């Protein structure tokens, strides 16, 4: 089994796709107006409209209601990314901070309130773990 993607359900696909394209530098591939994907080397961030939810099960997902998931992106230099996002991201939760497990992390919210963590490994152990 391979973990390949995570999907965010939103009431405004275009707004969220624009946000993630600007934040990550990745370009989205659109299937239609209700579904787009941003692919990275490790996984895909899928963004789907609330109109797609009934295809799975009516009422099974609600937009802008996440309080338990953090979407994480490995970046080369989290401090530079923070500087680039300043003025664009409106809700920084934590400025770049070195965590006890060896990653330097930047935590912010996307327009729907989902937590996003951009991080750079900085300890020898973390660098080894995420060596590309």
Q: Structural domains in the chain? A: 1-52 (3.30.720.120), 67-132 (3.10.180.10)
Q: What is the pLDDT of residues 5-16, one digit of tens each?
A: 999 999 999 999
pLDDT of residue 26: 96
Task: Report the DSSP beta bridge partners of residue 36.
Answer: 30, 47
For residue range 50-101, list pLDDT tens digits in order. Answer: 999 999 999 999 999 999 999 999 999 999 999 999 999 999 999 999 999 9
- What percentage of the chain has pLDDT greater than the value 90? 96
Residue 63 has what pLDDT?
Answer: 95
- β-strands 115-121, 92-98 pairing: unpaired
pLDDT greater than 70 at residue 132: no
* Beta-carbon contacts of residue 82 (< 8 Å; ≥ 6 apart): 92, 95, 96, 106, 118
Contact 116, 81 (CB under 8 A): no
């Amino acid at each position: 089994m391979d973990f390949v993607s995570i999907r965010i359900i939103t009431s405004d696909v275009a707004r969220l796709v624009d946000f993630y394209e600007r934040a990550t530098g990745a370009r989205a591939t659109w299937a239609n107006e209700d579904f787009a994907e941003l692919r990275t080397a490790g996984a895909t961030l899928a963004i789907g409209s609330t109109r797609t939810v009934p295809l799975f099960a009516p009422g099974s997902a609600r937009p802008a209601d996440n309080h338990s998931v953090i979407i994480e992106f490995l970046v080369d230099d989290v401090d530079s990314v923070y500087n680039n996002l300043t003025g664009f991201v409106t809700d920084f939760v934590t400025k770049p901070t070195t965590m006890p497990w060896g990653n330097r992390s930047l935590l912010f919210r996307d327009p729907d309130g989902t937590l996003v963590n951009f991080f750079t490994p900085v300890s020898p152990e973390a660098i080894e773990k995420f060596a590309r």
